[in-house]
Every structure is written in C-alpha cells, then in structure tokens.
Amino acid sequence: MRVLGIETSCDETGVAIYDTELGLMAHQLYSQAKMHADYGGVVPELASRDHIKKTLPLINAALEEAKTAPERIDAVAFTAGPGLMGALLVGATIGRTLAYAWQVPAVEVHHMEGHLLAPMLEPNPPEFPFVALLVSGGHTQLISVEGLGHYILLGESIDDAAGEAFDKTAKLLGLDYPGGPLLSKLAQSGTPNAFKFPRPMIDKPGLDFSFSGLKTAAANAVKANQNHLTQEITDQIKSDIAFAFQEAVIDTLFIKCQRALKQTGFKRLVIAGGVSANNALRKKFNGLLKQNIQVFYPRTEFCTDNGAMIAYAGWRRLTLGARAPLAIKTRPRWPLTDI
C-alpha cells in the first residue's frame, strides 16, 4: 500500500509518501518559522494562508521525488487534529478532496499519534508495549502504549508544555522565535551550578508536570541580574540561565519517566515531539540504558511536525479499518485517548 500523508496542524507544511514495501519514498517540508518570527509566535490566519499556498506544490514535489503518479497512490492520510482550526482545515480539505478525486480511501490522523509512531520509521523501531513521552510546543504527556490505539494517559502538563516554556524563557533572554533551539544552543556556553532552578512537582505523587513556575524562576533570575541602568544582562549570565533552565526541564522529564516506567513495568521508552531533538535531553535519557531500558527517538527531522509520520500513522490506521467520511471534520482539541 502507498499512502500520501499531509500535515498542516500548525506552522509546518509537510507532505510525504510511505510505501509498505519500499518504506518512505518522499518527504517534503516547508517551515513558516521565518514568517512568524516577526510576530514572536504563530499567527493562525497567516499560517492557514501559507498552507493554502504551499500544500499542493509540496504534493507535486513529493510525487516527483517518489517518481510516482496519483494513480499509484492507494490512500490519503491527513492530520485532523489537534491543532489550529484554520490550518487543519487546509490539509483536511485538500486531502479529502484528492482521495475523492483519485477514488481511494481517506483517513483522519491524530497529530500526536503521528508523533508517537514516528520512531517506527527508523531501522530499529520499538515494539509494543512502551511508555511514550510526547514533548513539544503544545503538549507534554506520558502515555502507556500497549498497542496501536491502546493508549492510557499517565500524566500531562497542568499549565505550559515543555516546548512552550522553552520558547517563553528564550523570549525573556531576548532570543528570536522559535526560541527553544536557540536557548539550547545558548545553554552550551552556560556554567553548571551558576543558577539552581526548581524541579517542579517531583516531590508530589503522580506523573503530571508543571513548567510555569520554572519559567517564573528564570524570569526572576533575569530581573535580579539586570544592570540597573540599562536593564540588560551579560551574555554569560544569559547562557548560565539557559543552562539552568534546560537542566531543570530535562531533570523533571527524566524523573517522571522513571516513575512511569516503574509504574507500568515496561522496559521501552519512546520520546517524540519537537523537544525530543534536544541533544542534552538525549544524552540524559540515554543513561537509562544502564538500567536495562531501551530508549527510542525519531530522527531529528521527524521530531518536529512532518508528513512522514502522518503517512505512516495513516497506513497503520487503515489496517484497523479506519476511513474518513465525506464530511470534513477537524478537531482543534482532541485527546489522544479518545481515538
């Protein structure tokens, strides 16, 4: 089976073609980050308009990259949620229309299930069951994954997602949008123990997260170290704050994942979503290998939103008999456990 996948949930337009025998045949991605940087964050209306401009050209580019034709596509998968309503509607409308025109099945894909299954595209994919840490700009969740579609929410952020906290703290440090990767780069020059930030909620039972207080701690550190005349801080202090913030986030995620693995008894951990590309995070979590825990990540280019994970997840959903109705329905809010 050959599946065309379309991802337009936020500020990346992704199109890919996955073949069950040949693997990933094409992967096209366009990021709107430069456009939204002028506004310090994603502007939904601009995102939707840009998806309208980019989706069809990327589909043509993917068909050309795969050296295939529409007649060889067996199904079309598209992100139906969660995400920005306008952005989702672009991909869903195009995807459902193409499936109707090509007379092939269409399938709605949950964006976070796409992230959860992204490591399955790697040469050494994880086997079920496993614990999944989904960590991105919009979500921080721990999921018990017993099989495809068998998901139990173990814990989630009660306020800011980890990626959102990264971006907001980066803005406090004067970094451009998207700030998460820039903060991580800045942290490489930081001095260990120059600042000590809290590890939120690790002393409380359960597997929920909270990152708003950590962001506040970083804001207080910035304010306390500003020059009283210029209201600026030195580059080294910025690096030290970035280091301490990143370390606190990673430690918190690590401690909660250890608890989830102990609670479930599973020996496999999947980490996916934009923050999973963080090198410091991967270095920390690779230490679980000493505890006989296998850790799986998507390749870096599949950590952020992309069409490959949607095409793959679409195929897996098709094997379960999923089919999208003719009526186009998108879900800006869609709990993973509801699919």
Binding annotation: 111, 115, 134-138, 167, 180, 278, 305
Known binding positions for substrate: 134-138, 167, 180, 278
Residue 182: how many other CB atoms lie within 10 Å:
18
Residue 128: how many other CB atoms lie within 10 Å:
11
Burial 313-331 (b: 16+ CB within 10 A, else e): bbbbbbeeebebeeebebb
Which amino acid is located at 206 in the chain? G
- Sequential DSSP letters for 89-157: HHHHHHHHHHHHHHT--EEEEEHHHHHHHGGGGSSSPPPSSEEEEEESSS-EEEEEEEETTEEEEEEEB
Known binding positions for Fe cation: 111, 115, 305
Which amino acid is located at 232 in the chain? E
At 220 the three-state DSSP class reads helix
Residue 189: how many other CB atoms lie within 10 Å:
13
d(CA 179, CA 169): 8
The position carrying tokens 């980066």 is: 170
63 closest CA partner among 142, 71, 112: 71
Q: How many residues does the chain have?
A: 339
Residue 289: how many other CB atoms lie within 10 Å:
10
CB of 248 closer than 8 Å to CB of 111: no
Verify cis geometry, omega within 30 degrees of 0, for the bond prior to 205: no
Structure token pair of residue 207: 């597997």
**Phi, psi dihedral angles at 180 (to 5 degrees):** -55, -55
d(CA 118, CA 114): 6
157 closest CA partner among 141, 180, 175, 172: 141
